[in-house]
Structure 1
Amino acid sequence: MRATPLPSRRLFLGMAAAVPLSMTGALTIGSQSAGAATRSPFVMGYFTESRNGLGTDYGLHLAVSTDGLQWMPLNQNNPVVTPTGGTGGLRDPFFLPKQDGTFVVMATDLKGTNWNAQSQYIHVWDSADLRSFNNYRLLKLHSMATHSWAPEAFWDASRSQYAIIYSSVNSSGHNVIMVNYTTDFRTVTSPQVFFDPGYDIIDGSMALGVDGVNYLYFKRNNALVGARSTSLDPGSFTVFTSGLAPRGGIEAPILAEAAGTWYLWGDANGVFPAWQTSDLSTGTWTASDRRVYTQPLNSKHATIQPIPQTVYDNLVAKWGKPAWNRLKSYNIPDRYWRHADYIGRIDQYPFAPYTDSQWKLVPGLADSSAVSFQSVSHPTRYLRHAYYRLRLDVNDGTARFAQDATFHKTAGLADSSWSSFRSYNYPDRYIRHFEHLLRIDRISTATARADATFSVWY
């Protein structure tokens, strides 16, 4: 029935850094010129899946970011709300800031990966500020014997209605982007085709009113392809890019603008690659440096929206920061610290079990002004050096163990905005990776300085 193997995502309403309402009540839409010098925080919504299922949860998860690039999961990366109707699980959540300043939250009604499920409904909540989720309901979009995947919404001022777009199969026999219109997200108009390029597509993500043009990115054959239109009328969009197709395939596009730069995110089997451009009209994207962005742990098929600083502050106060950290390599930024068979190493994200990459940076066992790395998955064990190699051992309470497991955090040797870690009892040596294993070495070359530099994030 469908050529694409996974349901995905994303319709970001291309906001500049602003979030206020315009005089018409519609959300202010960013452009290249407007908002380029301002920066607002952002919220991301997602569900989670991990390779061995340990971190899989089909509830709504939240993360926040001050720059739209480095994401901090909230509520210890646990769900903040879970559907009680339909399948009892969600995929592909989406937040829309409404005309009155509150949010509507929508999501695909699907728990797990049964792509043959035929739900005609989507999950819907109302939320004042994403701290509480009220008036849960299932909203029926159509009566066809097919699905309603990856719902997104935007305000169509010409109709004085919200448009809900989603992926479904119509009489053409392939997936298209459908649309229903609504004023209250309780009743909707009859469905109609919003975009059908003549082949199977899913996952619409839009940027509205960018220099008078509306952009729609979608998934086709494991690539992200762009279309555009000067109106929001169904049938008005035309394809203008050849598509981005990284090895292994991709889905779930998200268009997001931050501080004058447009980003196109995707979901490549649980990894969120990102591209950037200063001009959407060219359809040309440059891969973003993985050093500058970090996705939430186990995140899948996300939504991104700008939020006021007060909403950001209240979310962090409500749900809390993670009690653990992950450490990312500077010169191989798709790899993170982890332990495997009690050996310290860096491996490519994602891997299983993901908990092997979570650490508590606690006061140093030998010096409280330094740090020690306590394993989250094996809390009686700490990273310590033995014969200069890092391993995960049980704290035996000896002075030697405490010294071996203590490190002074310093400015990154390759980049002072990152971090390096100097051994407490071998102060001429730093933690570095060598052939993907963690060890302590004397550092004298540019390569070694890069090997010894890491980010401490989540």
Structure 2
Amino acid sequence: MTIRPPAPSRRALLRAMAVLPASALVLGEMPGLLGTALAAAPPSGSATRYTIVPFLNSNDGTVNVYQSDDATDFRLVKSSAYTPPGNRIRDASIIKHTNGYYYITYTTHTWQDVSTTIGFARSTDRVNWTFLYDYTVPIANLSRAWAPEWFVEGDGSVSVIVSCSTTDDEWIFTPYLLRATDSALTAWSPPVALAGIGKNHIDTFVVRIGSTYHAFTKNETTKYIEYGTATHLAGPYTISRTGNWAGWGSYREGPALVQLDNGAWRLFFDGYGDGNYYYSDSYDTFATWSTPKALPGVSGTARHFTVIKETVSGGVSLAKNVTRSFRSANYTTRHWQVQSSLLNLPVVTGSSTTAEKQAATFTVVPGLADAGGCSFRDAAGNYLRHYAFRARFDANDGTAAFARDATFIARTGTASGSVRFESYNYPGHYLRHYNYQLRVEQTDGTDLFRQDSSFVPLTAWA
């Protein structure tokens, strides 16, 4: 559960709570992520799929389902995909279990109400959900049980971390660990409090990498997301980064992590102070982070979600070590062509000169930075890369930086048979034509951008 309802009165309450002595909300969250999962471009014929099931800023009685192939451009799969038979649904956490079912667990009441249960629902396809049960968390004098969050260990064992308060102080929350004792996820061990995060925190989100558990948690006094580590899921955690250590700013909460295809970790969080939903990436195991950006499409609509990542069938099949030409999906007479080392999109036809056809022919090779991705070589042996976000061809200088600049991940395009090429080292940025020039630009979540960044592989002109 996060403290970010739309009503101003709630925010006023939270600001007032910040002055309470050494007290506020602690909440634990963990997705169905395995810290040992490998990150790589999806193999030919497969695709990466990220799924979120958020409740809405305008309605905490239902959830939508969105999916994305790049963790940036989330598209609506189904609105009002699940509405519980009673109560509300907030802060839904999603996993795929070893039995093949998808499960969500969620908060069953609004923030104003006493809430001693957490809800469970199940799906075969992530889209259509069936209510399972409401579970009363067995804590004496329980007042509120918020934001149950799945955590899956490397051996497949399943836990839920839920943040609970008692009637003696309904706004002082502590995270508790519940371990599933049956494969059907209907029986749970007695709650055990996590240790070390401390009071006056909320929205603790943990991932495991190797033998270390990494926790991201909002300090409800300072309004900053903090960071700590532990060697056991139950703690004790040591908080080592506080204040604006990552450059995300204050009034941020609901952190949720997922690992991208290029190995980076992406953190999503709710900027409830300004109404946006943000993401930020780390390439050095959480030491530094990119400047946060608003998540296109769902920012301002989606509330408190976690993310599951899967590799699924039906992705792009683009043969390697084969020469191809590439036509714009929405400007069907225009093709990629090298012009003075830059990649442009002029008209190329059967009557074009031999030189023009040769300049519009490229060899698709395994990605220089990731063989599952792709790189493109022109007739002169130079490689397509982005430089100052402009697409151009340069000689390979053998550096890791060049390899990353020259590697792209193939994603499904908008038109039949078309492909989108996502930058390997700038996730969510695509080769896109603008004024008939090719650039690497960040997706804005619009259909026009998707069309402008879709290209059809063709038999080579030369």
| TM-score relative to the length of structure 1 | 0.57
Q: Which residue of 2 aligns with 1:46?
A: 54
Alpha-carbon contact 1:226-1:243 (below 8 Å) kept: no
**1:278 pairs with one of 283, 292, 317:** 283
Matches for 1:36-435 after TM superposition, within 5 Å: 36-38=40-42, 40-49=48-57, 55-75=58-78, 78-85=79-86, 87=87, 89-111=88-110, 115-143=111-139, 144-156=141-153, 161-169=157-165, 174-182=172-180, 183=182, 184-208=184-208, 210-221=209-220, 222-232=223-233, 234-244=234-244, 246-247=248-249, 249-259=251-261, 260-269=263-272, 270-280=275-285, 282=287, 284-290=288-294, 294-295=297-298, 298-310=301-313, 411-413=433-435, 416=439
Unpaired runs of 5+ residues, structure 2, are: 1-12, 19-23, 317-431, 443-447, 452-462
Matches for 1:5-20 after TM superposition, within 5 Å: 10-15=29-34
Q: Which residue of 1 aligns with 2:406?
A: none
How far apart are the structure 2 equivalents of 1:235 and 1:250?
A: 24
How far apart are the structure 2 equivalents of 1:9 and 1:36?
A: 29
Q: C-alpha offsets along residues 81-138 of structure 1, whole Å, 9 cap, x if unaligned?
A: 10112x2x21100112212232221111124xxx232211111012222133224211
Letter in 2 for 1:42: Y
CA drift at 1:247 = 4.9
SS of alignment partner, residue 307 of structure 2: strand
How far apart are the structure 1 equivalents of 2:122 and 2:314?
A: 15
Q: C-alpha offsets along residues 44-93 of structure 1, whole Å, 9 cap, x if unaligned?
A: 110111xxxxx435212110000111111222xx21010112x2x21100
How far apart are the structure 2 equivalents of 1:311 and 1:90?
A: 32
How far apart are the structure 2 equivalents of 1:9 and 1:455?
A: 37
CA drift at 1:243 = 4.6
Letter in 1 for 2:278: P
How far apart are the structure 1 equivalents of 2:243 and 2:41?
A: 29
**Aligned residues between the structures:** 295
Alpha-carbon contact 1:167-1:178 (below 8 Å) kept: yes
Alpha-carbon contact 2:257-2:306 (below 8 Å) kept: no
Q: C-alpha offsets along residues 15-59 of structure 1, whole Å, 9 cap, x if unaligned?
A: 5xxxxxxxxxxxxx445xx3244472110110111xxxxx43521
How far apart are the structure 1 equivalents of 2:314 and 2:253?
A: 29
| Change beyond 3 A, Cα 1:417–1:198 | closer
How far apart are the structure 2 equivalents of 1:271 and 1:97?
A: 28
* Greater mean deviation of Cα atoms: 194-203 or 97-106: 194-203
Alpha-carbon contact 1:13-1:256 (below 8 Å) kept: no
| Change beyond 3 A, Cα 1:9–1:56 | farther
| Change beyond 3 A, Cα 1:161–1:271 | same
CA drift at 1:169 = 2.2
The CA RMSD over aligned residues, in Å, is 3.4
SS of alignment partner, residue 215 of structure 1: strand
| Change beyond 3 A, Cα 1:225–1:231 | same
| Change beyond 3 A, Cα 1:117–1:250 | same
How far apart are the structure 2 equivalents of 1:104 and 1:312?
A: 25
Alpha-carbon contact 1:129-1:311 (below 8 Å) kept: no
How far apart are the structure 2 equivalents of 1:311 and 1:155?
A: 27
Alpha-carbon contact 2:142-2:166 (below 8 Å) kept: no
SS of alignment partner, residue 40 of structure 1: strand
How many percent of aligned residue pairs carry the same amino acid? 17
Letter in 2 for 1:227: G
Unpaired runs of 5+ residues, structure 1, are: 16-28, 50-54, 314-409, 420-453
CA drift at 1:297 = 5.9
Q: Which residue of 2 aligns with 1:18?
A: none
How far apart are the structure 2 equivalents of 1:138 and 1:46?
A: 19
How far apart are the structure 2 equivalents of 1:80 and 1:216?
A: 30
SS of alignment partner, residue 100 of structure 1: coil
Alpha-carbon contact 1:42-1:312 (below 8 Å) kept: no
How far apart are the structure 2 equivalents of 1:108 and 1:102?
A: 20
How far apart are the structure 1 equivalents of 2:314 and 2:174?
A: 35
| Change beyond 3 A, Cα 1:418–1:35 | closer
How far apart are the structure 2 equivalents of 1:102 and 1:243?
A: 40
Letter in 2 for 1:104: Y
SS of alignment partner, residue 80 of structure 1: strand
Q: Which residue of 2 aligns with 1:343?
A: none
CA drift at 1:415 = 6.3
| Change beyond 3 A, Cα 1:294–1:193 | same
How far apart are the structure 1 equivalents of 2:228 and 2:282?
A: 16
CA drift at 1:215 = 1.1
Letter in 2 for 1:256: V
How far apart are the structure 2 equivalents of 1:200 and 1:296?
A: 27
Alpha-carbon contact 2:278-2:293 (below 8 Å) kept: no
CA drift at 1:141 = 1.5
Q: Which residue of 1 aligns with 2:39?
A: 35
How far apart are the structure 2 equivalents of 1:312 and 1:116?
A: 45
Alpha-carbon contact 1:176-1:196 (below 8 Å) kept: no
Letter in 2 for 1:211: G
Alpha-carbon contact 1:215-1:229 (below 8 Å) kept: yes
CA drift at 1:258 = 0.6
How far apart are the structure 2 equivalents of 1:204 and 1:212?
A: 18
CA drift at 1:241 = 1.6
